[in-house]
Amino acid sequence: MECDLASLLNRPSRRAFMGTALAATGFALAAGPVAAQAIATDATGLDAGPVMIPARDGDLPAYAARPQGGKPVPVVLVVQEIFGVHEHMRDVCRRLAKQGYLAVAPELYARQGDPSKVADIPTLMKTIVSKVPDEQVLADLDSAAAWAAKSAGGDAAHLGITGFCWGGRMAWLYAAHNPRLKAAVAWYGRLAGDATANTPRHPLDIAAELKAPVLGLYGGADQGIPLDSIEKMRAAVKAAKVPAEIIVYDGAPHAFHADYRPSYREQPAKDGWAHMLAWFKANGVG
């Protein structure tokens, strides 16, 4: 199916969520000062910008980027880090589009609030993140995949997902959720945690249920994700019927790919990106 994504950019929503909007520019306040090494990817040769995706209870704001030309291209769902779909996530979409993908980053907190305006992480966790149900997120990712194939020239037969931090956990969960997914890449996503009404299961709980190959990229010095949980995950995924691999970068902290933050580590970030692209190609995304 041929489609001009440019014609969809900034199209008015039929029914936008009340009181929420995808920020047009800039980084989330809670992310802190933007570091000098922050990477900025231009949109030359791309159709890129905000879009609205029909979801189960209203239109969902998102950011999408793809090569110009209109021919069907593989789809990668980009799952936001804890700060939402701010400039770093939009830049990741443009980077993927430069590699030939239709990259779609839905604003998965849209019903709960606007994370770009929250000034600190504890408040962000309390007022927005903790209120987002996994079930809602998985359904919204399904909606984003369907929209990409139906309305934006995405090739539904070549669907991948990647997520960072909060989104890394969701990438694992989505790989156990969608049987049509070809491959997933999870960047430093939490693997274990307490069961709650909104987060009833975690990656360790669904490891044997994976329906698509998953590559996990983790930092050896991540204080929020203990190495023993990574080793437990390595053991758990052996029961899955699909391949799974976890790479740990010695000395790398959490968010080592976040080039706009002090946590950025260039070598692990570049190596992880190369492994991600290779994983997608080896498993039918591209």
Low-confidence ranges of the chain (pLDDT < 70): 1-25
Task: Tell how far CA 27 is from the center of its chain.
Answer: 16
Q: What is the pLDDT of residue 4?
A: 54
Q: Give pTM, 2 decimals.
A: 0.92
Which domain range does residue 24 map to? 5-282
**CA 217 from centroid of its chain's CA atoms:** 13
- φ, ψ dihedrals at 246, nearest 5°: -125, 125
Give the pLDDT score at 16: 31
The whole-angstrom separation of Cα 107 and Cα 86 is 9
Q: What is the pLDDT of residue 12?
A: 38
283 vs 263: CA distance, rounded Å: 30
Catalytic-labelled residue, pool 86, 202, 254, 257: 254
CATH number for position 189: 3.40.50.1820
The single residue of 59, 93, 165, 257 carrying the catalytic annotation is 165
Nearest residue to 105 (alpha-carbon basis) of 88, 93, 117: 93
Q: What tens digit of pLDDT does each residue of 52-70 get?
A: 999 988 899 999 999 998 7
Q: Which residue do the tokens 């969608």 mark?
A: 178
For helices 166-175 and 134-151, the axis angle rounded to 10 degrees is 70
Contact assessment for residue 162 and residue 184, using Cβ atoms and an 8 Å cutoff:
yes
Determine whether 165 is an active site residue. yes
Assess whether 3 carries a catalytic annotation: no
**Residues whose CB is less than 8 angstroms from the CB of residue 53 and which lie 6 or more positions away in sequence, other chains included:** 59, 60, 61, 62, 104, 106, 140, 143, 144, 147
Is 222 one of the catalytic residues?
A: yes
What is the secondary structure of the chain as a DSSP string?
Answer: ----GGGTTTPPPSSBPTT----SSS--GGG-SPPTT------TTEEEEEEEEEETTEEEEEEEEEETT-S-EEEEEEE-BTTBS-HHHHHHHHHHHHTT-EEEEE-TTTTT--GGG--SHHHHHHHTGGG--HHHHHHHHHHHHHHHHHHS-EEEEEEEEEEETHHHHHHHHHHTT-TT--EEEEES--------SS----HHHHGGG--S-EEEEEETT-TTS-HHHHHHHHHHGGGSSS-EEEEEETT--TTTT-TTSTT--HHHHHHHHHHHHHHHHHTT--
Contacts of 228 (CB under 8 A, 6+ apart): none
Tell me how many domains the chain contains.
1
The CA distance from 254 to 123, in Å, is 20
